[in-house]
Structure 1
Amino acid sequence: MGELKFFLGVQIKQLEDGTFINQQKYIHGMLKKFGMENSKPMPTPMAMNVKLTLEGEGDSFDSTKYRGTIGSLLYLTASRPDIMYNVCLCARFQKNPKMSHVEAVKQIFRYLKGTMQLGLRYPKFTGVDIMCFVDSDNGGSLIDRKSISGVCTFVEL
């Protein structure tokens, strides 16, 4: 059958020192589907000063279209953990999205346009060191005053 190169929207490249996966073709198709293929690339998935709330700013947006964009982005997080926080933040507003929520999603698309070539590299190795850091913010959510916690894991070869 040969070497696996493409599976469920994930491109797989077998290298001598490991395996590299990304979803460049999927991102390109997603940008085209949502009319963002000619957008200007951005260096970050979301600006630091963006504060999304349930009320949002601007007019209401079609929730079906918004859910479609969020679903596409959630599938993309399989090979792009760098957008996980931003996509999950935007996913909170699927019930009644406003234009400010849509602008945040567009920023993620613009970031993806400039970083399509990124992916995950799984090297061949003999040993591994793992460091984990955990942080929490009790009652810090601007939306519903719920606690937020996060984990950052580093794998060292």
Structure 2
Amino acid sequence: MVDEFQNVMQKRFKMSSLGAINFFLGLQVDQTEKGIFLHQSKYVADILSRFKMEDERISKNPLLSRPDITIATCLCARYQAQLNVNHMLAAKKIMRYLKGTPSLGLWYPRKDGFDLTAFSDSDYGGCKRDFKSTSGGCQFLGSRLISWQCKK
């Protein structure tokens, strides 16, 4: 089936096949007969190296869960023009958490259903700092997470 798709695409569009994909948009792609695993262990290692944090201790408890780490990062970024010690400590904790979890990723098993399921949740004025609402959601194709979002 993959070969048939590849032949159709090569006939319709000017393209060539470079073989199995290893990296895509900053994600590492590990393919096996059982499925596909997406992760960013190389990216995490590069970031830790860039900020000379390879020898830092690991933080086992994150500020937020892995998908919500975007919110923690954005909170730190808000104060980049007026940094204080607390902001730097929070950013360092995020980096130490990433150091301890470089192999976390998304597993897509080969044999899985194709039912689309979505979940969402929100709170009204739940942030004690600015009383803004936070909402989030995730979408699954079978048991595979395909998208998530968090918004304040």
TM bracket, shorter-chain basis:
0.5 to 0.7
Identity level (%): 46
State whether structure 2 residue 108 is matched by structure 1 residue 122: yes
Cα distance in 1, alignment partners of residues 70 and 116 from structure 2: 20
Q: Which has the higher contact order (CA 8 A, sep 6+)?
A: 1
Deviation digits for residues 33-52 of structure 1, max 9, x if unmatched? 112111001112228xxxxx
Native 8 Å contact 2:119 2:137 kept in 1: yes
Q: Deviation at 1:81?
A: 2.5
Equivalent residue in structure 1 for 2:37, among 10, 15, 20: 20
Q: Give me the TM-score of the superposition, normalised by structure 2.
A: 0.67
Native 8 Å contact 1:140 1:146 kept in 2: yes
State whether structure 2 residue 36 is matched by structure 1 residue 11: no
Computed over aligned residues only, the root mean square deviation of the Cα atoms, in angstroms, reads 2.5
Gaps in structure 1 of 5+ consecutive residues = 48-79
The residue identity in structure 1 corresponding to 2:70 is M
Native 8 Å contact 2:58 2:97 kept in 1: yes
Q: Deviation at 1:105?
A: 0.9
Cα distance in 2, alignment partners of residues 149 and 11 from structure 1: 29
What is the count of residue pairs matched by the alignment? Answer: 125
Cα distance in 1, alignment partners of residues 45 and 112 from structure 2: 36
Gaps in structure 2 of 5+ consecutive residues = 1-17, 144-152
Deviation digits for residues 24-72 of structure 1, max 9, x if unmatched? 111111101112111001112228xxxxxxxxxxxxxxxxxxxxxxxxx
The residue identity in structure 2 corresponding to 1:5 is N
Match of 2:60 in 1: 43
State whether structure 2 residue 128 is matched by structure 1 residue 142: yes
Higher alpha-carbon Rg: 2
Native 8 Å contact 2:63 2:69 kept in 1: no
Give the structure with the higher percent strand: 2
